[in-house]
Amino acid sequence: MLQEFFTEHDAQFFIMYASSKNPNLYYATKFRVPDPVFYMIGDDGTELLVVPEMERRRAERESRVREIASLNDLGFHERLKELGDAKKALAETYADLIMTHHGKRVLVPDDFPAFLYQTFAEKFDVHIVENPYSIMRAVKTPEEIRNIKETSDATIQAFRFFLEILRKERNSERLRNRVESFLYSRGFMAEDTIISGDSESSDPHCTGHGDIEFHVIFDVFPRDRKTGYHSDFTRTVMIQENHEIEEMLDACVEAKNRAIEMIKDGVSGEEVHFLVCDVLESHGYTTLRQKAKEGFIHSTGHGVGLEVHERPRIYERGEELKTGMVITLEPGLYYEGVGGVRVEDTVVVRKSGCEVLTQFEDIVRLVK
C-alpha cells in the first residue's frame, strides 16, 4: 500500500513528527513515547526513527522500525549551540537528514507541526496529504480484532456492573466515577462516559449530571491501557415506563438490527446509513438526511481501533466496507423536552456478514 502511495504522489518520503499519542505514529512504529519523535519512510526502503538519546535503547528494543538514530547522532546539540533556538535547531537538523537521503519531494500529514513545515518548504517540495496510516488502519489484522474483542468483553462487564449499581445509585456523576474506576481496575481507561438521563439525554454527547429518574443512556468507549485498542457500546435503560421513549427505542433497535443484517464485505457505509434513515423515517421520525434539527441527527457509525472514531465512515459518502474493518452501528433519536435514546454495537465486517463483539440484549429495563 505504501509503495502505491509514493507512486500516486510521485514522492520520495513521508514524514511524521509526533508522540505515540498520535495513533498513526504508534501504528507505524509500535513505540510508546511521551514526546514527539521524527519518523521517515521512503520509497527506496528507508525507514528511520529519530529519538532523544534517553529513548534510544528502548526504541531499539521495542519499536518495529529498522533503523534508530538519536538527536546526538545527527548533531542536534551542536546546531542548538549555533542557533540558540531549539525549534530552529530541530528543523535544520531534520532538514539536513532529508538532504543526506537525497530527498526532494516530501509528503507530510495535515497535523504536521508548522515550525517544521516552514523550514522544509524552503528546502524541499512539500505536500500535505492524508496520512496513509489512517487508511491502512481501517482494515484490522486478526491480532487487532482480538485486542478490540478483549476491550469489548470488558465493556460488557462494565455495563453489567452499571446495571447492578443503578438499582441503588441514581446520580450520573457517581455512577460514571464507579464505572470508570471499575474499568481502570481491570486495565482499561474510560473517560467522558455518557450516563445521561431523562431530558438531558436529548443532547447526544451530554455526559450527564445530577439524578436520573425515568431512563438513561449508557455509552462507554474504553481503551485497553496495554494495547491501546478501543471498543464502543451504548444501551438505553428504562427505569420507569414511558411509552414515547419506548417507541423511540424500539425504532432504533429495529434500525440497528436491520443494519447488522446488511453488513458484509462490499456494502458501502452510505448504504448502511441510508437504510437506518429509511427505518427511522418509516416510523415517523425525522433524520439528518431531511435536514432535521431533532430526531436522528448524527451518523450511523464509524470505525473503531486505536481511536474510538476512525475510518471508515458509516454515513453519507461513506466508503466501501471491507473484511476486517471494525465499525459501530448506533442509531439514536433525540427530541428536546422528551429525551433521547441510542443503541450501539461494535461489529467486525466479514465476507458475507458481520460478527457482533458487544453482545447484549437490546432492550434493557429496570422497570418494577
Task: Please give the pLDDT value at position 1.
Answer: 81
Question: Which pLDDT tens digit goes with each residue over 250-271?
Answer: 999 999 999 999 999 999 999 9
Question: Would you kindly state where each structural domain of the chain is located, as residue ranges?
Answer: 2-136, 142-365
Q: Tell me: pLDDT of 97 over 70.
A: yes
pLDDT per residue as tens digits for the range 13-50: 999 999 999 999 999 999 999 999 999 999 999 999 99
User: Contact 67/48 with Cβ under 8 angstroms?
Assistant: yes
- pLDDT tens-digit profile of 40-93? 999 999 999 999 999 999 999 999 998 999 999 999 999 999 999 999 999 999
E strand spans, the chain: 13-18, 37-42, 47-51, 67-70, 105-109, 125-129, 188-189, 194-197, 215-220, 223-224, 233-238, 301-303, 310-314, 326-329, 332-335, 339-342, 345-350, 353-356, 364-365
Nearest by Cα to 234 from 88, 84, 349, 364: 364
Mean residue pLDDT of the chain comes to 97
Instruction: Calculate what percentage of the chain has a pLDDT beyond 90.
Output: 97
pLDDT (mean) for 221-249 = 97
> From its phi and psi, is residue 255 left (phi > 0), alpha (psi between -120 and 50) or beta?
alpha
Tell me if 65 sits within 8 A of 55, measured CB to CB.
no
Query: 2-136: which CATH topology?
Result: Creatine Amidinohydrolase; Chain A, domain 1 (3.40.350)
| Local confidence band at 368 (pLDDT 50, 70, 90 cut-offs) | low
CATH code given to domain 142-365: 3.90.230.10
| Banded model confidence at residue 239, pLDDT cuts 50, 70, 90 | very high
d(CA 294, CA 97) in angstroms, rounded, equals 54
Mean pLDDT for 181-200 is: 98
37-42 and 301-303 strand pairing: unpaired
Give the tens place of pLDDT for each residue, 270-314: 999 999 999 999 999 999 999 999 999 999 999 999 999 999 999
